[in-house]
A and B are shown apart, each in its own frame.
Chain A
Amino acid sequence: DAGITQSPRHKVTETGTPVTLRCHQTENHRYMYWYRQDPGHGLRLIHYSYGVKDTDKGEVSDGYSVSRSKTEDFLLTLESATSSQTSVYFCAISAATSGSTDTQYFGPGTRLTVL
Protein backbone atom coordinates (compact mmCIF):
# COMPACT_ATOMS: atom_id res chain seq x y z
CA ASP A 1 0.00 0.00 0.00
CA ALA A 2 1.09 3.53 -0.77
CA GLY A 3 2.44 5.42 2.22
CA ILE A 4 -0.45 7.68 3.04
CA THR A 5 -1.63 8.54 6.52
CA GLN A 6 -4.44 10.77 7.65
CA SER A 7 -4.89 12.39 11.02
CA PRO A 8 -6.99 12.39 12.98
CA ARG A 9 -8.86 9.26 11.98
CA HIS A 10 -11.96 10.31 13.90
CA LYS A 11 -13.06 13.69 15.15
CA VAL A 12 -16.18 15.11 16.74
CA THR A 13 -16.48 18.86 16.87
CA GLU A 14 -19.06 21.55 17.32
CA THR A 15 -20.59 23.87 14.78
CA GLY A 16 -18.55 27.01 14.27
CA THR A 17 -15.22 25.61 15.36
CA PRO A 18 -12.22 25.41 13.04
CA VAL A 19 -10.97 21.98 12.06
CA THR A 20 -7.81 20.92 10.26
CA LEU A 21 -7.28 17.50 8.75
CA ARG A 22 -3.84 16.35 7.77
CA CYS A 23 -2.70 14.10 4.97
CA HIS A 24 0.87 12.87 4.98
CA GLN A 25 2.61 10.88 2.25
CA THR A 26 5.97 9.19 2.06
CA GLU A 27 5.88 8.53 -1.70
CA ASN A 28 7.07 11.95 -2.86
CA HIS A 29 4.13 12.09 -5.27
CA ARG A 30 3.40 15.40 -6.90
CA TYR A 31 -0.38 15.37 -6.75
CA MET A 32 -2.53 15.25 -3.64
CA TYR A 33 -6.30 15.37 -3.35
CA TRP A 34 -9.00 15.76 -0.75
CA TYR A 35 -12.36 14.04 -1.29
CA ARG A 36 -15.44 13.73 0.84
CA GLN A 37 -17.77 10.78 0.76
CA ASP A 38 -21.40 10.92 1.75
CA PRO A 39 -24.18 8.35 1.41
CA GLY A 40 -25.85 8.66 -1.98
CA HIS A 41 -23.13 10.86 -3.42
CA GLY A 42 -20.08 8.70 -3.83
CA LEU A 43 -16.76 10.52 -3.62
CA ARG A 44 -16.58 14.20 -4.47
CA LEU A 45 -13.44 16.24 -4.91
CA ILE A 46 -12.92 19.19 -2.56
CA HIS A 47 -9.48 20.51 -3.49
CA TYR A 48 -6.33 19.19 -5.01
CA SER A 49 -2.69 20.17 -5.23
CA TYR A 50 -0.29 19.76 -8.12
CA GLY A 51 2.78 20.90 -6.25
CA VAL A 52 4.02 22.80 -3.22
CA LYS A 53 1.89 25.92 -2.82
CA ASP A 54 -0.07 25.00 -5.97
CA THR A 55 -3.69 24.14 -5.33
CA ASP A 56 -7.00 24.25 -7.13
CA LYS A 57 -10.66 23.87 -6.32
CA GLY A 58 -12.73 20.80 -6.89
CA GLU A 59 -16.42 20.14 -7.18
CA VAL A 60 -17.38 20.97 -3.57
CA SER A 61 -14.81 23.49 -2.35
CA ASP A 62 -17.08 25.98 -0.58
CA GLY A 63 -16.33 26.14 3.13
CA TYR A 64 -12.93 24.49 2.77
CA SER A 65 -9.39 25.72 2.33
CA VAL A 66 -6.17 23.83 1.79
CA SER A 67 -2.47 24.37 2.14
CA ARG A 68 0.59 22.53 0.96
CA SER A 69 3.85 23.91 2.28
CA LYS A 70 5.77 20.66 1.84
CA THR A 71 5.53 17.90 -0.73
CA GLU A 72 4.55 15.36 1.88
CA ASP A 73 1.76 17.26 3.67
CA PHE A 74 -1.61 18.46 2.45
CA LEU A 75 -3.87 20.14 4.98
CA LEU A 76 -7.62 20.58 4.70
CA THR A 77 -9.17 23.27 6.89
CA LEU A 78 -12.77 23.89 7.73
CA GLU A 79 -12.68 27.49 8.93
CA SER A 80 -16.04 27.25 10.68
CA ALA A 81 -17.43 23.76 10.68
CA THR A 82 -21.10 23.18 9.86
CA SER A 83 -23.25 20.09 10.25
CA SER A 84 -23.32 19.69 6.46
CA GLN A 85 -19.60 19.01 6.61
CA THR A 86 -20.14 15.86 8.60
CA SER A 87 -18.61 13.28 6.31
CA VAL A 88 -15.78 10.87 5.69
CA TYR A 89 -12.77 12.61 4.19
CA PHE A 90 -10.27 10.81 2.03
CA CYS A 91 -6.89 11.99 0.92
CA ALA A 92 -5.36 10.61 -2.27
CA ILE A 93 -2.03 10.91 -4.02
CA SER A 94 -0.80 10.27 -7.52
CA ALA A 95 2.51 10.39 -9.28
CA ALA A 96 0.92 11.69 -12.46
CA THR A 97 4.00 11.05 -14.53
CA SER A 98 3.84 12.94 -17.79
CA GLY A 99 2.37 10.80 -20.52
CA SER A 100 0.73 8.34 -18.18
CA THR A 101 -2.79 8.07 -16.95
CA ASP A 102 -3.62 8.83 -13.40
CA THR A 103 -3.83 6.13 -10.76
CA GLN A 104 -4.69 7.53 -7.38
CA TYR A 105 -3.87 5.93 -4.06
CA PHE A 106 -6.16 6.66 -1.17
CA GLY A 107 -5.58 7.09 2.52
CA PRO A 108 -7.61 5.37 5.25
CA GLY A 109 -10.02 8.26 5.70
CA THR A 110 -11.06 10.61 8.49
CA ARG A 111 -14.55 10.43 9.92
CA LEU A 112 -15.64 13.92 10.95
CA THR A 113 -18.80 14.62 12.88
CA VAL A 114 -19.97 18.19 13.37
CA LEU A 115 -22.58 18.56 16.08
Chain B
Amino acid sequence: LAKTTQPISMDSYEGQEVNITCSHNNIATNDYITWYQQFPSQGPRFIIQGYKTKVTNEVASLFIPADRKSSTLSLPRVSLSDTAVYYCLVGDQAGTALIFGKGTTLSVSS
Protein backbone atom coordinates (compact mmCIF):
# COMPACT_ATOMS: atom_id res chain seq x y z
CA LEU B 1 0.00 0.00 0.00
CA ALA B 2 1.33 3.39 -0.93
CA LYS B 3 2.24 5.75 1.87
CA THR B 4 0.55 9.07 2.14
CA THR B 5 1.65 12.41 3.52
CA GLN B 6 -0.74 15.10 4.63
CA PRO B 7 -0.50 18.16 6.87
CA ILE B 8 -0.79 17.47 10.57
CA SER B 9 -3.24 20.28 11.17
CA MET B 10 -5.22 23.06 9.51
CA ASP B 11 -7.28 25.91 10.83
CA SER B 12 -10.26 27.55 9.17
CA TYR B 13 -13.28 29.72 9.84
CA GLU B 14 -16.89 28.96 9.28
CA GLY B 15 -18.07 29.50 5.73
CA GLN B 16 -14.65 29.11 4.16
CA GLU B 17 -13.65 26.44 1.68
CA VAL B 18 -11.01 24.08 3.01
CA ASN B 19 -8.64 22.13 0.82
CA ILE B 20 -6.55 19.33 2.31
CA THR B 21 -3.86 17.96 0.07
CA CYS B 22 -2.45 14.47 0.34
CA SER B 23 0.76 13.32 -1.30
CA HIS B 24 1.07 9.74 -2.52
CA ASN B 25 4.08 9.64 -4.80
CA ASN B 26 4.20 5.84 -4.98
CA ILE B 27 0.59 5.28 -5.90
CA ALA B 28 0.14 2.20 -8.04
CA THR B 29 -1.85 1.97 -11.24
CA ASN B 30 -4.75 0.16 -9.62
CA ASP B 31 -4.87 2.20 -6.42
CA TYR B 32 -7.90 4.23 -5.46
CA ILE B 33 -7.76 7.24 -3.17
CA THR B 34 -10.11 7.28 -0.22
CA TRP B 35 -10.77 9.85 2.48
CA TYR B 36 -12.18 9.20 5.91
CA GLN B 37 -13.39 11.62 8.57
CA GLN B 38 -13.20 11.00 12.29
CA PHE B 39 -14.93 12.96 15.02
CA PRO B 40 -13.74 12.74 18.62
CA SER B 41 -14.88 9.56 20.36
CA GLN B 42 -16.19 8.06 17.13
CA GLY B 43 -14.89 5.64 14.53
CA PRO B 44 -13.73 6.91 11.13
CA ARG B 45 -16.41 7.51 8.54
CA PHE B 46 -16.01 7.15 4.77
CA ILE B 47 -16.26 10.49 2.97
CA ILE B 48 -15.27 10.06 -0.64
CA GLN B 49 -13.29 7.89 -3.01
CA GLY B 50 -11.84 8.45 -6.45
CA TYR B 51 -9.44 7.19 -9.07
CA LYS B 52 -8.79 10.18 -11.31
CA THR B 53 -9.97 13.68 -12.20
CA LYS B 54 -12.80 14.86 -9.98
CA VAL B 55 -15.38 13.21 -7.80
CA THR B 56 -18.12 15.07 -5.98
CA ASN B 57 -20.74 13.96 -3.51
CA GLU B 58 -23.01 15.71 -1.05
CA VAL B 59 -20.21 16.13 1.47
CA ALA B 60 -17.02 16.93 -0.43
CA SER B 61 -15.12 16.99 -3.69
CA LEU B 62 -11.97 15.10 -4.50
CA PHE B 63 -9.55 16.43 -7.08
CA ILE B 64 -6.93 14.13 -8.54
CA PRO B 65 -4.40 15.42 -11.09
CA ALA B 66 -3.38 13.41 -14.10
CA ASP B 67 -0.22 12.02 -12.52
CA ARG B 68 -2.24 10.92 -9.43
CA LYS B 69 0.70 11.60 -7.13
CA SER B 70 -1.44 13.80 -4.98
CA SER B 71 -5.08 14.48 -4.27
CA THR B 72 -7.04 17.28 -2.68
CA LEU B 73 -10.09 16.94 -0.52
CA SER B 74 -12.25 20.04 -0.78
CA LEU B 75 -14.83 20.88 1.85
CA PRO B 76 -17.09 23.74 0.75
CA ARG B 77 -18.25 26.30 3.29
CA VAL B 78 -17.13 24.48 6.42
CA SER B 79 -19.01 24.74 9.67
CA LEU B 80 -18.01 24.09 13.26
CA SER B 81 -19.27 20.53 12.88
CA ASP B 82 -16.58 19.83 10.27
CA THR B 83 -13.95 19.97 12.99
CA ALA B 84 -12.46 16.50 12.78
CA VAL B 85 -9.47 14.45 11.72
CA TYR B 86 -9.30 13.67 8.01
CA TYR B 87 -7.41 10.64 6.73
CA CYS B 88 -6.18 10.02 3.20
CA LEU B 89 -5.57 6.43 2.15
CA VAL B 90 -4.61 4.72 -1.06
CA GLY B 91 -5.10 1.08 -1.96
CA ASP B 92 -6.43 -1.24 -4.55
CA GLN B 93 -7.22 -4.59 -3.18
CA ALA B 94 -10.65 -5.27 -1.80
CA GLY B 95 -10.61 -6.87 1.58
CA THR B 96 -7.17 -5.77 2.61
CA ALA B 97 -6.48 -3.81 5.71
CA LEU B 98 -6.34 -0.06 5.50
CA ILE B 99 -3.29 1.75 6.74
CA PHE B 100 -4.17 4.97 8.47
CA GLY B 101 -1.57 7.65 8.93
CA LYS B 102 -1.94 10.35 11.53
CA GLY B 103 -4.37 12.33 9.45
CA THR B 104 -5.03 16.05 9.31
CA THR B 105 -6.73 17.68 12.25
CA LEU B 106 -9.04 20.38 10.93
CA SER B 107 -10.17 23.00 13.41
CA VAL B 108 -13.02 25.28 12.37
CA SER B 109 -13.65 28.41 14.37
CA SER B 110 -16.49 30.90 14.35
Contacts and interface: CB of A to CB of B under 8 A. Distances in A.
Contacts of B100: 35, 42-44
Interface string A70-113: 00000000000000000000101010111111111111110000
Secondary structure class of chain B's binding surface, majority of residues:
loop
Contact of B95 (A30, A35, A43): A30
Contacts of B103: 42
B28 interface: no
Contacts of A104: 44, 46, 98
B39 to A, nearest CB: 11
Interface residues of A, number: 31
Interface in B72-110: 87, 91-103
B34 to A, nearest CB: 7
B98 A101 contact: no
Nearest to B103: A42
B29 interface: no
B50 to A, nearest CB: 10
- Across chains A and B, which 8 residue pairs bring their CB atoms closest together, nearest first? A106-B43, A96-B95, A43-B100, A96-B94, A101-B32, A45-B97, A42-B102, A42-B100
Interface of A: 30-31, 33, 35, 40-45, 48, 50, 58-59, 90, 92, 94, 96-109
Given A42-B87, A101-B32, 13 more contacts: A33-B97, A42-B102, A45-B98, A58-B97, A90-B44, A94-B95, A96-B94, A97-B94, A101-B34, A103-B46, A104-B44, A104-B46, A106-B44
